[in-house]
A and B are shown apart, each in its own frame.
Chain A
Amino acid sequence: ILNVEQSPQSLHVQEGDSTNFTCSFPSSNFYALHWYRWETAKSPEALFVMTLNGDEKKKGRISATLNTKEGYSYLYIKGSQPEDSATYLCASLAGKLIFGQGTTLQVKP
C-alpha cells in the first residue's frame, strides 16, 4: 500500500511570512511526484511535476525540492500572500497517482 503523508495538516501564517510543508512517500517504485494547489470552490491546479532526485522547481514565490532516495519533497512559499491561501496536495506516482491529505494554508493579511 502506498502511503503519501503531508505535514502539517494546517498552517496559519501572517502575510509576508515564508513557509514550507512536507510530503513524504515510499521511495520504492517511484516514478513522479506531483504538487497541486486547491483553492476553495475551485478545482485542483497543477503546480509542479518532479521526477529526478535533487530536482528543484520554481514558479514565482513557490518552489519545491525532491529527494527520491529518502522519499520526501518540500514545498516552499516565500513571502506568503492572502491569495496563497489554499490546500496544497502532493501525489506520488507508482502505477497510479496517490494523493496525500493536503496541507491547508491560511495567510492572514
Chain B
Amino acid sequence: GAGVSQSPSNKVTEKGKDVELRCDPISGHTALYWYRQSLGQGLEFLIYFQGNSAPDKSGLPSDRFSAERTGGSVSTLTIQRTQQEDSAVYLCASSLSAGGPPQYFGPGTRLLVL
C-alpha cells in the first residue's frame, strides 16, 4: 500500500473488555513498531517486530498487552481486560529494517476505555 494503515481509527470500549488493534505496514518493510501516546505524554515504545519475531517486548506495560505479526506483514496489538489507563492513541510504524532507516507512521487508533 501507499502508507501504513491502522484500524479502527477510533475505538470506545468498556472497562474489562478486550480490544484488538490492527496495523498494515508498508509493503516490503520488515520492521514494525507499536507505540502509544497517552494524554499529555510523549511517544512510548511498546514492541517491535523484525519479520515475525519480536526481539524487544520490554515496552509492553503489562501482561494484558500482547502483539503478534503474521506473514511478515499485518500486526495486531491485543489488550485484554482493558483499564481506563489504557486510553491513548496507539501508533504503528514500519521501516525497511530495524534500526537506522526512518520509520513511517500510521494515522493511529484512538482508544477510549470508559
Contact = CB atoms under 8 A, between A and B. Distances in A.
Contacts of B99: 31-32, 93
Interface residues of B, number: 23
Interface of B is mostly: loop
B58 to A, nearest CB: 8
B75 to A, nearest CB: 16
Pick the most buried of A51, A95, A97, A99: most chain B CB atoms within 10 A of its CB. A97
Contacts of B4: 43
A100 B44 CA distance: 9
Interface in A58-109: 89, 91, 93, 95-102
A36 B42 CA distance: 13
A36 B33 CA distance: 15
Interface residues of A, number: 22
Contact of A102 (B42, B58, B105, B106): B42
Interface of A: 31-32, 34, 36, 42-46, 49, 51, 89, 91, 93, 95-102
Interface of B: 4, 33, 35, 41-43, 45, 48, 56, 58-59, 91, 93, 99-108
